[in-house]
Chain A
Amino acid sequence: MNKKLIFAIPLVVVAAMFGVFGYALVSGVDPKSVPSALTGEPLPDFKLSELQDEKAFLSRDDITGEPMLVNIWATWCGSCKYEHPVLNALAASGVRIIGINYKDDRALALKWLDEYADPYEVDVYDPNGDLGFDLGVTGAPETFFVDSEGNVQYRFQGPITDQLWQDKLKAIYDEMV
C-alpha cells in the first residue's frame, strides 16, 4: 500500500466533515424540528367530550372517514390567534378541519369561537392533554394532515399562514383528497 495515501486519510476525513457541516449550514437544517412519530401511522384512539357538549363523547371513528386537518389549539396560545383567520378562510374554501382544544378551559374556548368565528367541523375537548400526548404534541398550534383512512400523512408545527399554505401545505392536502 502506498504510504503517502495513508497520510492523506485524516485530510479526507476532515474534508468530508467540512462537507457535511457546510451542507447543514447552507441547506438550513432546522435543529428545532422534531420528527413526528405518527407520520404514516393511524390516528390514536381517544374518548373525550365534545367542546360544545360535555355529555357527548367522541372517539376516533367519529371524526375519521374523510381527509381532514386536525388542529391543536388553545386560548392561552398566542400564535393560535394569529393562525385563526387562516383556518377560517380554509374552512370557508371547503377544507375539513377538526379542532382539538388542548389543555384549555371550556368556557374560555367557547367564548373564543363565539368572538373569532368557528372553523371547526367538530371540536374535541382535551383539558388534560391526553390525546395531545398520544399525538406527540409539544405545544400549540400543531396541525395533522389525516387522510380518509385515518392515517396521519404529515404534521405541521406552528401557525399556518396563507403563504405557507400556498407554497407547501396545500400540495400535501390536495394529495389526500
Chain B
Amino acid sequence: MKWCNRTAATLSFLVLLFGSLAFAASEVLTFDNDELRERYAELTFQFRCPKCQNQNVADSNAPISVDIRQKTYEMLHQGYSDQDIVDFMVDRYTEFVIYKPQMSVVTIWLWVVPAVVLLSGLILLIRMTRSRSSETVDELTDDDRDRLKTLLEDKS
C-alpha cells in the first residue's frame, strides 16, 4: 500500500500549496465593467488596514478591511472618482489608511528633500573634482627645476 500513502501525501501537499495561494479576501464581487474592477483592485491594494500592522486592505481579513472593501465597491458603483474615495477614507481613518502619502504642507518634504540632497551632492562632486584638477597643474618653480637637474645628474 505504499503507492496509496504516496498519493495521499502528494494530494495533501497540493491542497496545502493551493490553499495558501488563495487570497485572504473571500467575498465574491461582480462588477459592471472591467474598468471598475481594475480601479477596485488598485484602490484596495493601496489602502492600509487600520487594524493590522502593515497589511493592505485587499489582503486583510480584519472586519474593518471587509468594511473598507465594501464601501469602496459601493462608492465605485455610485460613480465616485478614485480621489473622492481616498478622501472619504482619509476623513475617517486619517492618512494612516493610505500607503501613498498625499501632497500637503506636512508631506511636501518627502519630494523636496531627495531632490535637494541629490542636487547638493552633484554640486559638491563637481566642485571637488574641479579643485583637484586645478591643483595638479601646479608648475615647478625655476629653483625646483635646477634642484631636480642636479639631483638627476648626480645619480648618473
Residues of A within 8 A of B (CB): 6, 31-32, 34-37, 103, 129, 133-139
Contacts and interface: CB of A to CB of B under 8 A. Distances in A.
A96 to B, nearest CB: 25
B93 interface: yes
B124 A139 contact: no
B71 interface: yes
The residue in A35, A103, A133, A137 that gathers the most chain B C-beta atoms within 10 A of its C-beta is: A133
A138 B53 contact: no
6 contacts: A34-B93, A37-B93, A133-B67, A136-B93, A138-B51, A139-B64
A133 B93 CA distance: 9
A129 B67 contact: yes
A136 B128 CA distance: 54
Residue from A32, A35, A103, A136 whose CB has the most chain B CB atoms within 10 Å: A136
- Main SS of chain A's interface residues? loop
B64, B71, B92, B128 — most chain A CB neighbours (10 Å): B92
A6 B124 contact: yes
The DSSP consensus for interface residues of chain B is: helix
Interface residues of B, number: 16
Given A6-B124, A32-B53, A133-B71, A139 B63 contact: yes
Interface string B43-58: 0000000110100000
Contacts of B91: 37
A130 B2 CA distance: 57
B119 interface: no
A131 to B, nearest CB: 11
A34 B71 contact: no
B64 A34 contact: no
Contacts of A138: 50-51, 62, 64, 93
Contacts of B51: 138-139
B109 interface: no
B90 interface: yes
Given A32-B53, A34-B50, A129-B67, A136 B92 contact: yes
